[in-house]
């Protein structure tokens, strides 16, 4: 069965003659399949219908014959003798094969486009996952920095409270040293000649015991109490400072000033009393004090 030329086959399948000639020329006349691939890949190009200047023999897929080179006199008869004549049945069969080939190329193209779309979707999802992971890592880093900042602030707060305690201890030691030295440096009263010893023990005057420490119990407004031992010559301000540091309020909150009261006899200690020793205020050897919030003036 005679075969159609590549150009005729493409025209028979419905491709415009200009496109078919251009496809054959640009694919180097490698056959109908290569030309069809080119036509499908470039069917949307804006210049696909522009003519291509190429020798006629190369467009048709064959070299010019000697009769074509001689001139127009014998060219018509030579072309008619070399061109095979197809019956209608053969032409339909060849057209059917070409249409099947076109359909196959179309399916291959659709499958290739589907694979490319699937690959693009995978790429998009992969980029989305990478972006989500980067965002999550950024949030974790921010939470870690916030936790470190809270730990640092807590450590600074504990260090500040420790410095306050150390300062209180130093103040206590300095006051103890100061008052202890002053008591020791006081000149002892001149010895007097004792009078006659009374014959009866019941007539001996009672001796007053000296205390160098006192035990203070402090009752807080919430019903709890604090107990601490102070030196007898410490100032009442040391007791108030101890209460302000240990009355259980959260650090960082505004603390109201406190006022100290004695239960019996009922007495409210003033700011001037804060500079007086505990011994002088009658709080030795032990006493119970009540904490009240100081009214703003």
Q: Which residues of the chain have pLDDT under 50?
A: 1-3, 56-81, 182-188, 201
Is-contact 48 42, C-beta < 8 A?
A: yes
Q: Specify the pLDDT at position 51.
A: 77
Helix/strand/coil for 34: helix
Helix/strand/coil for 177: helix
Q: Specify the pLDDT at position 190.
A: 52
284: left (phi over 0), alpha (psi -120 to 50) or beta: beta
213-247+256-293, CATH topology level: Ubiquitin-like (UB roll) (3.10.20)
How many Å is the maximal CA-CA distance in the chain?
Answer: 180
d(CA 23, CA 282): 119
pTM over 0.85: no
Q: Specify the pLDDT at position 208.
A: 64
Bridge partner list, 215: 229, 286
Is-contact 278 234, C-beta < 8 A?
A: yes
Q: Specify the pLDDT at position 143.
A: 94
d(CA 199, CA 201): 7
d(CA 156, CA 146): 15
What does 228-268 look like in DSSP terms, one character per residue? EEEETTSBHHHHHHHHHHHS-PPTTSPPPPEEEEETTTTEE
d(CA 214, CA 219): 16
CA 70 centroid distance within chain: 85
Q: Specify the pLDDT at position 186.
A: 47
d(CA 201, CA 65): 165
Q: Specify the pLDDT at position 19.
A: 84
What does 98-145 look like in DSSP terms, one character per residue? HHHHHHHHHHHHHHHHHHHHHHHHHHHHHHHHHHHHHHHHHHHHHHHH
């Amino acid at each position: 069965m005679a075969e159609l030329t590549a150009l005729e086959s493409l025209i028979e399948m419905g491709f415009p003659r200009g496109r078919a000639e251009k496809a054959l020329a640009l694919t180097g006349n490698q056959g109908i399949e290569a030309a069809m691939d080119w036509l499908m890949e470039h069917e949307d190009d804006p210049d696909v219908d522009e003519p291509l200047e190429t020798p006629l023999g190369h467009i048709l897929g064959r070299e010019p014959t000697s009769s074509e080179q001689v001139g127009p006199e014998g060219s018509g008869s030579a072309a008619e003798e070399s061109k095979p004549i197809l019956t209608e049945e053969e032409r339909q069969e060849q057209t059917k094969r070409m249409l099947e080939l076109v359909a196959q190329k179309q399916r291959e193209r659709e499958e290739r486009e589907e694979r490319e779309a699937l690959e693009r979707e995978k790429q998009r999802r992969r980029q989305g996952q990478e972006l989500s992971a980067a965002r999550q890592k950024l949030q974790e880093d921010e939470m870690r920095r916030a936790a470190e900042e809270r730990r640092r602030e807590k450590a600074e707060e504990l260090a500040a409270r420790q410095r306050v305690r150390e300062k209180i201890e130093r103040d206590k030691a300095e006051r103890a040293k100061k008052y202890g030295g002053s008591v020791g440096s006081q000149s002892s009263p001149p010895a007097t000649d004792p009078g006659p010893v009374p014959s009866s023990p019941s007539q001996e005057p009672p001796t007053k015991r000296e205390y160098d420490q006192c035990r203070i119990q402090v009752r807080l407004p919430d019903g709890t109490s604090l107990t601490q031992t102070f030196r007898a010559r410490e100032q009442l301000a040391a007791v108030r400072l101890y209460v302000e540091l240990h009355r259980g309020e959260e650090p960082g909150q505004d603390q109201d000033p406190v006022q100290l009261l004695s239960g019996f006899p009922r007495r409210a200690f003033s700011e001037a009393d804060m500079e007086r020793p505990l011994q002088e205020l009658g709080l030795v050897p032990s006493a119970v004090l009540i904490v009240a919030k100081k009214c703003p003036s």
